[in-house]
Amino acid sequence: MALPINDKIKKSLQAAEGLYHRLVLVVGETGSGKTGVLRDVAAEFNTSVINVNLALSGELLELTAKQRALQLPGIFNQIVRNSLSPVVLDNLEIIFDKGLQQDPLRLLQGLSRNQTVVASWNGRYSGGRLFYAETGHSEYRSYESIDALIVGMDGTATVDSTEKYTEAGQA
């Protein structure tokens, strides 16, 4: 029997505790229900969902384009530093903005070194690759080496594959 997505996220959060990057990405297209799932998970852990677009845009507003690119990682870290674990992040579109000159996955991985992070990811996970936007879009990203646990809104989860290998003695 397939576990509900919330349970897969909780299972992934437990598995992430022993990883170098304690990052769980909830992957799905726009409108797939990621926000509702993240709210439920945050409520269960007695934490809140951080709207990254809102939090970062307010902090970056008064900075020049160059200052934004240079200071964004530190500002992002400061925003999540005092949050309860797991840190739950939604509405991440701003970190994909080409003008900010950031690698969104690396930003999230940096945050997940010191605390467990669960974040929404508008896109898809297919064939071991993580995608954001469509080919040809200015913000298109494709990652092959992810170093994060993935929970798809379609019910798939990389933690399920990891368990199969561990149970077979192949991990």
pLDDT in tens, 36-86: 999 999 999 999 999 999 999 999 999 999 999 999 999 999 999 888 889
Q: Which amino acid is at 169?
A: G
Enumerate long-range contacts of 98-106, CB under 8 Å, 24 or more apart.
Answer: 98/138, 98/139, 99/65, 99/68, 99/69, 100/68, 100/69, 100/72, 101/69, 102/69, 102/72, 102/73, 104/132, 104/141, 105/130, 105/141, 105/143, 105/146, 105/148
Would you state the pLDDT for residue 161? 67
Question: Which residue bears the tokens 């298109």?
Answer: 140
Local confidence pLDDT in tens for the 171 residues of the chain: 346 899 999 999 999 998 999 999 999 998 999 999 999 999 999 999 999 999 999 999 999 999 999 999 999 999 998 888 899 999 999 999 999 999 999 999 999 998 999 999 999 999 899 999 888 888 999 999 889 999 999 999 998 765 443 333 333
CA dihedral 159, 124, 3, 50 (to 10 degrees): 90
Q: Which two tokens stand for residue 6?
A: 């919330």
